[in-house]
Amino acid sequence: MRAKPFLLSFFAGLSAISVAAAQTAPPAAPPIIAQNARLLPVLAQKGMVASQERLASAVGVDILKRGGNAVDAAVAVGFALAVTLPRAGNLGGGGFMLVHLAKTGETVAIDYREIAPAASTPTMFLGANGEPDPQKSRDSGLSVGVPGTVRGMALAVEKYGSGKFTLAQLIEPSVKLAREGIPVEEDLADSLPGAMGRMSKFPSSMAIFAKDGKALPRGSMLVQAELANTLEAIRQQGPDAFYKGRIAEQIVAAVRETGGIMTAEDMANYKAVIRPAVKGSYRGYTLASMPPPSSGGVHLVQILNILEDYDLKAMGAGSAASLHALAEAMKPAYADRATFLGDPDRVKVPVKGLTSKAYAEKQRAKIDLAKATKADDIKSGDPMPHESDQTTHYSVVDAEGNAVANTYTLNFSYGMGLVAAGTGVLLNNEMDDFSAKPGAQNAYGLVGSDANSVHPGARPLSSMTPTILFKDGKLFMVTGSPGGSRIISTTLQVITNVIDFDMNLAEAVAAPRIHHQWKPDALLVEPGLSPDTLKLLAERGQTVRPGATSGSANSILLQGGWLQGAADPRQRGTAAIGY
Ligand code: GLY
């Protein structure tokens, strides 16, 4: 019954934000926003949050308006999404936060990826026949990596927060959202029915997300009292409340009851790590992105390096010529991903070589702009899997020019579908991102080598690509996306749409995207490209596979003193909010 007043005041807060933005808007829009554009970004001058869920974006903007910096706001958004976008926002998963600090000019990467429990072994996901058993790596307690989000968020505030907000204050809004409830609307209403198959095995999950055995209906309220208690415990006692004691024990019990091997020591030992960002450049812009254990930054830079010598602008946005060039540049990068990438604490990843211009030149020399290169030794018969990925990405910029690109995940939509009883915490199935054996595909059809095999304490290879670009040393763009293996290609195309094709940010995010990951040898295309273009691509030798949309590239761009915000229109409920 207390839900309404809070929500009403929350929504009232949202309209206040739009009114304030309208009142302070100067007479002319920045020149980059073409008046005849089909889509326009949100404009603001001080701060902006672009995320996959409106209430969470509003939480972040509220922190910015109260004097918090981008990191403070990003942490508040991270906890809020765990409540309002439960299929991807999380406490029970992990991810990566890229932080740019305006004062020092440094950009650092916080790695809070899940880790393999200490009792993990390289063969743990093989069945009796010696072949990968997806049930083990995706649908059992073995699939759950030790969650990193709570330690990651705490580390971010401690190291890079403004000092004006404590972790406790940044968690406060999410406690309220969980306790008082949120309406089952937009993406929540769209995604819950699809999760029932996984959740129906777990009464602890159904008790929260279902009614009478069916997904909570559109228009009802999702109240997460246990999650509120967990958030409240973290608020009062800090991250140890999650990693040690009752909550950790409940998580471990849920994992072990479903066949897993996680222990209380695994939880207690989890550490988030700060790593140097991967750096690159493209047509006069510089960029920082996520280093291993994500493959995202390395391959984003690698693909941009290959593309740099092509005149994409002259080829034209959405033309067969430019899409073919993009696809051919993606292939060698994904082939390298399969061979070289893994946890940098366990294997030596040749980041410098992979991201060098000289290496790109060699790879470009093998590309034929008129004919697709076939992926070697493709085994037919393994269709591209269509597991719904549910990672989520959000971008934050504050008035000082600090910026955060954060991508985090439970892996599948609602992770394993398992809520650890008594905690309200949905658990990830991230262990499937390891290679069950060399050459085996994960849920996204990605193959890997021994570099990404399962080892105790290792972090599974990711594709998450939170990225920040700079022009003349100044902040230019903050971007990234969910999408499993398509995260890298999605982020790439937002960047090329802006830099090569002069799109405003809203158009750059909305434009139809393509994806090629070397194996399977197929060019995935979103709806929106013309049949003529697809025909021309097929004539160049591409195996064109039209399919569903992918990604949610919630991004921010800074130009002419203005912030442009664009929430991806591919899902309902996404929101860029500025002030
Ligand atoms: N679970 C998807 C990724 O990390 O790439």
Nearest to 360 by CA among 329, 331, 339, 322: 329
- Counted residue by residue, the chain has a size of 579
For residue 484, the CA-to-ligand 1 centroid distance in Å is 5
Residue 179 pLDDT: 98
Q: Does the beta carbon of 180 lie inside 6 Å of ligand 1? A: no
Nearest to 289 by CA among 403, 184, 365, 458: 403
Mapped to the 3 state alphabet, what secondary structure does 240-276 carry?
Answer: HHHHCCHHHHHHHHHHHHCCCCCCHHHHHHCCCEEEE
CA 536, 541, 544, 550 dihedral sign is: negative
Name which residue sits closest to atom 2 of ligand 1, judged by CA.
484
Q: Cis peptide before 460, with omega less than 30 degrees from 0?
A: no
Nearest to 178 by CA among 258, 265, 90, 259: 90
Round to whole Å and give the CA distance between 318 and 61.
Answer: 34
Q: Does the beta carbon of 390 lie inside 6 Å of ligand 1? A: no
Q: Which residues carry out catalysis?
A: 391
411 CA: nearest ligand 1 atom: 1
For residue 286, the CA-to-ligand 1 centroid distance in Å is 25
Round to whole Å and give the CA distance between 42 and 231.
Answer: 31
Ligand 1: which of 90, 464, 552 to mutate, most ligand atoms within 8 Å of CB?
A: 464
Q: Does the beta carbon of 484 lie inside 6 Å of ligand 1? A: yes
For residue 11, the CA-to-ligand 1 centroid distance in Å is 33
Instruction: State which H helix or E strand residue 410 sits in.
Output: strand 403-412
For residue 315, the CA-to-ligand 1 centroid distance in Å is 32
Round to whole Å and give the CA distance between 468 and 395.
Answer: 9
Q: What angle do CA 544, 546, 551 make, to 5 degrees?
A: 115
CA-based radius of gyration for the chain:
22
Name which residue sits closest to atom 3 of ligand 1, judged by CA.
462
Q: Does the beta carbon of 462 lie inside 6 Å of ligand 1? A: yes
Round to whole Å and give the CA distance between 269 and 386.
Answer: 34
For residue 448, the CA-to-ligand 1 centroid distance in Å is 13
409 CA: nearest ligand 1 atom: 1
Residue 101 pLDDT: 98
| Cβ contact 491:296 at 8 Å | yes
Q: Does the beta carbon of 490 lie inside 6 Å of ligand 1? A: no
Round to whole Å and give the CA distance between 294 and 271.
Answer: 17
Q: Does the beta carbon of 391 lie inside 6 Å of ligand 1? A: yes
CA 277, 281, 282, 283 dihedral sign is: positive
For residue 319, the CA-to-ligand 1 centroid distance in Å is 29
| Cβ contact 70:398 at 8 Å | yes
Round to whole Å and give the CA distance between 410 and 533.
Answer: 36
Nearest to 188 by CA among 143, 220, 227, 164: 220
Name which residue sits closest to atom 1 of ligand 1, judged by CA.
411
Residue 444 pLDDT: 84
Residue-by-residue pLDDT tens, the chain, 579 positions: 233 333 434 333 433 333 333 344 454 555 556 556 789 999 999 999 999 999 999 999 999 999 999 999 999 999 999 999 999 999 999 999 999 999 999 999 999 999 999 999 999 999 999 999 999 999 999 999 999 999 999 999 999 999 999 999 999 999 999 999 999 999 999 999 999 999 999 999 999 999 999 999 999 999 999 999 999 999 999 999 999 999 999 999 999 999 999 999 999 999 999 999 999 999 999 999 999 999 999 999 999 999 999 999 999 999 999 999 999 999 999 999 988 899 999 999 999 999 999 999 999 999 999 999 887 632 322 223 334 567 999 999 999 999 999 999 999 999 999 999 999 999 999 999 999 998 888 888 888 888 999 999 999 999 999 999 999 999 999 999 999 999 999 999 999 999 999 999 999 999 999 999 998 899 999 999 999 999 999 999 999 999 999 999 999 999 988 999 999 999 999 999 999
Non-local (6+) Cβ contacts of 192 within 8 A are 184, 209, 215, 216
Nearest to 462 by CA among 96, 82, 79: 96
Q: Which residues pair with residue 140 across a beta bridge? A: none
By CB atoms closer than 10 A (0-12, 13-18, 19+), residue 380 is exposed
Name which residue sits closest to atom 4 of ligand 1, judged by CA.
462
Q: Does the beta carbon of 464 lie inside 6 Å of ligand 1? A: yes
Nearest to 143 by CA among 271, 262, 295: 262
